[in-house]
Amino acid sequence: MLEFIKQPWPWYIAGPLVGLTVPALLIIGNKSFGISASLRHTCAMCLPANITFFKYDWKKEIWNMFFVFGILFGGVLAFNFLSNPNPIIINDTLRTELASYGVTNINGMLPEQLFSWENLITLKGFFMMIIGGFFIGFGSRYAGGCTSGHSISGLSNLQLPSLIATCCFFVGGLIMANIILPLILSI
C-alpha cells in the first residue's frame, strides 16, 4: 500500500480528489475552498491594530487555519516518509534553456542556484523570493483570492470574477515564464 501512495498519481485520480474537496467543504460546513484567506485570518489573530480589513470574527474561520496547518504537516510527512528516491526527470530542452541562464544544478524540485539561503542575499534571489513572494501575496488579495480559490471553487460555482481571475492567472504565468523570468535569470 505504501508503494502505491509513493507513486505519482495520474491526473484522473488526483484531479477529481481535489475537485471533490469543494463540494465536501460546502456540504459539511458551508465553507469555500481557498488558501490565501488564511493570511488574513493570521493577521486578524496576531495584529491587534485598528485596521478595518482585520476587524471581523476570525474565530468563525479557524477551520481554515487547521486546513493550512494540515497541508503544511502533510507536506512535511510526505517529504520525509513518502519521497521518491529517483531523480526528477526534466525535459532536455528545459535543462538546456536553464543552463543558458546559468542554472545547472537541477537535481531537485527547486534549483539550488535560485532557491537557497545563500542566494537570498543576491540580487537574483531577492527578485525571485522577496519581490516574487510579495507580488503573489498582494496579487491574491487584490484578486479576492488565490488560484485554488478562484480556479477550483469559483469556477465550480460559475462565478464570472473567478473566470476573469483564472484567465489573468494564466496570462500572468505565461508572461512571467516567457518574458520576466528569462530577464531575471540573466542578471
Q: Output the tens digit of pLDDT for each of the chain's 187 residues.
A: 677 777 778 889 888 888 888 888 888 888 877 787 788 888 888 876 788 878 888 888 888 888 889 989 998 998 888 877 777 778 889 888 888 877 777 766 677 777 778 887 888 788 878 888 888 888 887 788 888 788 888 887 888 998 998 999 899 999 988 898 888 877 7
pLDDT at 143: 81
Quickly tell me which residue has 500500500 as its cell: 1
Interacting residues of 172 by C-beta distance below 8 A, sequence separation 6+: 139
| pLDDT computed for residue 47 by the predictor | 77
pLDDT in tens, 30-60: 887 778 778 888 888 887 678 887 888 888 8
C-alpha cell of residue 9:
498519481
d(CA 114, CA 97): 15
Q: How many whole angstroms separate alpha carbon 154 and alpha carbon 65?
A: 20
Q: Per-residue pLDDT tens for 129-152?
A: 888 888 888 888 778 888 878 888
Report pLDDT for 170: 92
* Rg of the chain on CA atoms, in Å: 19
Distance (Å, whole) CA 81 – CA 175: 36
Predicted pLDDT of residue 108: 66
* Burial class, 176, CB count within 10 angstroms (exposed 0-12 / middle 13-18 / buried 19+): middle
The residues, ordered by sequence, that sit 6+ positions from 159 with a Cβ below 8 Å of its Cβ are: 150
Long-range contacts (CB closer than 8 Å, 24 or more residues apart) made by 139-147: 139/172, 140/36, 141/36, 141/39, 141/40, 143/168, 143/169, 145/34, 145/36, 145/37, 146/34, 146/35, 146/36
Per-residue model confidence (pLDDT) at position 94: 84
**Between the CA of residue 28 and those of 21, 31, 145, what are the distances in Å?**
10, 8, 21
Among the listed residues 88, 98, 66, the one whose alpha carbon sits nearest the alpha carbon of residue 8: 88
